[in-house]
Amino acid sequence: MEILVASAIGILTAGGLYLVMRLRTFPVIMGISLLTYAVNVFLFASGRLTVGAPPILTDATTYADPLPQALVLTAIVISFGMTAVVVMIALGAYLGGDDDTVDDQPVEDAQ
């Protein structure tokens, strides 16, 4: 099971990294989203994997680690805010300049 989670994190990271290195804003935003998943799952997994023991106090003796969960919960919400801001900037750049490439053109090319 551990290998599945670890490899999933790796695949999400690889996909995210590849898309982040694309030249247009939209794939880059997709890439950032994939990286967000990867990072969130990575952080979550730092509490190790526990099946069937949510950190809701009952008579049970073992619980999943609640701390990474709390951390990731806010991270998910914040990442929505961050995505929204990045998207807004990308959109503003596109609407303002009619261009959705992410790289600055070298000065000599711009002329």
Partner 1 sequence: MSLFLIVALPFLGALLPGLMNSAGRAATAGVTFMVSLLAFIGLLTNLPAVWAGELVTARLDWIPLLGLNVTLMLDGLGFFFALLILGIGLLIITYGRSYLSRDDNMGEFFTYLLLFQGAMVGIVLSDNILLLLIFWELTSLSSFLLIGYWKHLPEGRQGARMALTVTGMGGLAMIGGMLLLGQIVGSYDLSVILQSRELIQASPLYLPALILILLGCFTKSAQFPFHFWLPHAMAAPTPVSAYLHSATMVKAGIFLMARMWPVLSGTPEWFVIVTTVGLITMVLGAVIALFKHDLKSLLAFSTVSHLGLITMLLGTGTAFGTMAAMFHILNHATFKAALFMSAGIVDHEAHTRDIRRLGGLRHLMPVTFVIATLAALSMAGIPLLNGFLSKEMMLEEANHTVLFGMPLLVPVMATIGSLFSAAYCFRFISHTFLGPQRDDYPTTPHDPPAGLWMPPAFLVTLVVVIGVAPFVAEPFIKMVTASVLGDAAEVPKAYFKIWHGLVPALFMSIIAVVGGLLLLMIFKPALAIWDKTPRPEAKTIFDVLIAAVVGLSRRIIAPLHDGAFTRYAAIMAVTIVGVGYHAWATGTVGAPTRAVQPTNFVQIAGWLMLVAATCGLVVLHRNRLLSLILIGIVGLVVSVGFVFFSAPDLAMTQLTVEVVTIVLLLLTLNFLPNKTPVESTLLRRTRDGVIAIGGGLATAALAFHYLLRDSVAPTISDFHLANSYKGGGGTNVVNVILVDFRGFDTYGEIIVLGIAALLIYALTETLLDGPVRARLLNRKPDQPRAGGMHPMMMVVMTRLIMPVVLMVALYIFLRGHNQPGGGFIAGLVASIAVVMQYMASGFSWTSARLRYPYHGVIGAGVLIAGLTGIGSWFFAKPFLTSDFTYVRIPPFEKFELATAALFDLGVFLAVVGAVMLSLESFSRLARRAHVRDSEHPMDIDPSRDQDKAEV
Q: Which of residues 72-111 bind partner 1 (CB under 8 A)?
A: 72-74, 76-85, 87-92, 94-96, 100, 102-106
Minimum separation from the CB atom of position 29 to partner 1 (A): 8
Q: Tell me phi and psi for residue 46, to 5 degrees.
A: -65, -15
What residues form DSSP beta bridges with 24?
A: 101
Identify whether the C-beta of residue 72 lies closer than 8 Å to the C-beta of residue 94: no
Q: Which of residues 17-76 bind partner 1 (CB under 8 A)?
A: 17-30, 33-34, 37-38, 40-42, 44-58, 63-67, 69-70, 72-74, 76
The tokens describing 96, both together, are 């303002």
Question: Which residue number, 56 or 111, has a Cβ lying nearer to partner 1?
Answer: 56
Question: Which residue number, 106 or 111, has a Cβ lying nearer to partner 1?
Answer: 106
Return the DSSP state at 105.
P
Question: Which residue number, 52 or 111, has a Cβ lying nearer to partner 1?
Answer: 52
Minimum separation from the CB atom of position 83 to partner 1 (A): 6
Identify whether the C-beta of residue 35 lies closer than 8 Å to the C-beta of residue 17: yes
Neighbouring C-beta atoms of residue 108, cutoff 10 Å: 6
